[in-house]
Amino acid sequence: THARRDNPILKTTPVGLGLTLPLAVAGMAACWPHRRRLVVLYGITGMLVLGTALFFVTTRYRVVLLPWLYLFGAGYLATLARAVLHNRWRVLALGLAAGVGAFLFTLPSRFPMDESTREYAHHLHEGFRYARIGLHEEALDAYGRAGEARPGDYESHLARGIVLVSMERHFEAQREFEIAMELGTEDPEVPFRMGEALYKTHRYTAAEAALRLSLSWAPRRALTHAYLGMTLASQGRFDEARTSFLLGIELDPGLAFAHGNFGSFLAMTGNFSQAEVHLRRTLEIDPDFPNARRNLGFVLLDSGQRDEAIEVLGHVLAEDPGDGEVADILRSMGHGPPPSLQN
């Protein structure tokens, strides 16, 4: 209920997850005679279910399944409706029996029978809800109670670490990630988050080791390659950094984080033309990506594109009137703050 109320995706769903899952399972059975025409749908749904099976009790992992589950659920309801319209009572009876069977089959996934598992899931959901709306202390408390309900589980420590990073309590976050690693997980998210926290405390060698461990478990994760590029650049290993950034962009051309940070790296190394390309691409993907527009303005200025630089930096100052550096640059070029900021 909490997840449905606070998650923007779940707010728009016509039915809750508790009803969607059994309807979809019944739909898979009802649509099986047409499986050759639906092979792609079965394949995608099967892969998503397999990929989230270990975490199926937590909403954040199963939300991606919803569109596919709805299709099968709709197929099941359509089968029942056709049976009623055409007076095919035997088909209707079989369909209803399949629905009851699907409900019983999915019951353990939706309502864990073990009390500690149920308590763990409740507190973990609660933590996700609090973290999503910015109530960090409440999220930490909920995740802590989830860890008490299941002491050997790493995910509550991972979740606490992520919240602590968002609060800029990086050393505490590192300890949570260390505990998660000590519990024996091979989830690549744990060393990735450890690398992020280490990078933000300028421990670049340790950050590199953590990120490389994450890549050994998930070698095609673009975000990790981009973060590794930042870490290598901070150590002055520019050729390796460039390779890592480019690999991240190759793996996910639509990742604003990779383009934005690669653009900043290129600007730092004096390659303004390519920096401009990647910063513009960043803004195409995500117009609100932090500092991308600001960095683009500086790159345009450094490459001699004065008029466009003034336009871009003026837009930056309009969005952030407190940016003294941009204001000083515009003033030195004979352009004060926009009229709307002068009063």
Which DSSP string do the residues of 272-329 spell out, in sequence order?
A: HHHHHHHHHHHHHH-TT-TTHHHHHHHHHHHTT-HHHHHHHHHHHHHH-TT-HHHHHH
- Cβ-count burial 137-150 (b if 16+ within 10 Å, e if not): ebbbbbbbbbbebb
* Sign of CA pseudo-dihedral 291, 297, 301, 302: positive
Segment (H or E) for 219: none
Per-residue pLDDT tens digits for 65-100: 677 777 877 888 888 898 888 888 888 888 888 888
Q: Where are the alpha helices (DSSP H) in 86-114?
A: 89-110
The pLDDT value given to residue 3: 40
Percent of the chain with pLDDT over 70: 84
Tens digit of pLDDT for each residue in 249-308? 999 999 999 999 999 999 999 999 999 999 999 999 999 998 999 999 999 999 999 999
State the pLDDT at residue 6: 41
Max avg pLDDT among 2-11, 129-138, 199-208, 330-339: 199-208
Alpha carbons within 13 A on the beta-carbon side of 98: 23
Spatial separation of the C-alpha atoms in residues 167 and 169, rounded to whole Å: 5
Q: What is the Cα–Cα distance from 196 to 187, expressed in whole angstroms?
A: 15
| Residue 220 CB coordination number (10 Å) | 12
State residue 249's pLDDT score. Answer: 97
Q: How far apart are CA 311 and CA 297, in angstroms?
A: 8
What would the two tokens of residue 12 be? 């728009």
Question: What one-letter code names the amino acid at 92?
Answer: L
pLDDT given at position 184: 86
Q: Which of 53-57, 197-201, 323-327 has the highest mean pLDDT?
A: 197-201
pLDDT for 57 equals 42
Mean pLDDT, residues 317-332 taken together: 90
- CA quadruple 298, 303, 304, 307: dihedral sign: negative
**Other CB atoms closer than 10 Å to residue 62's CB: what's the count?**
21
Cα 245 from Cα 239, distance rounded (Å): 10
For the stretch 249-262, pLDDT in tens is: 999 999 999 999 99
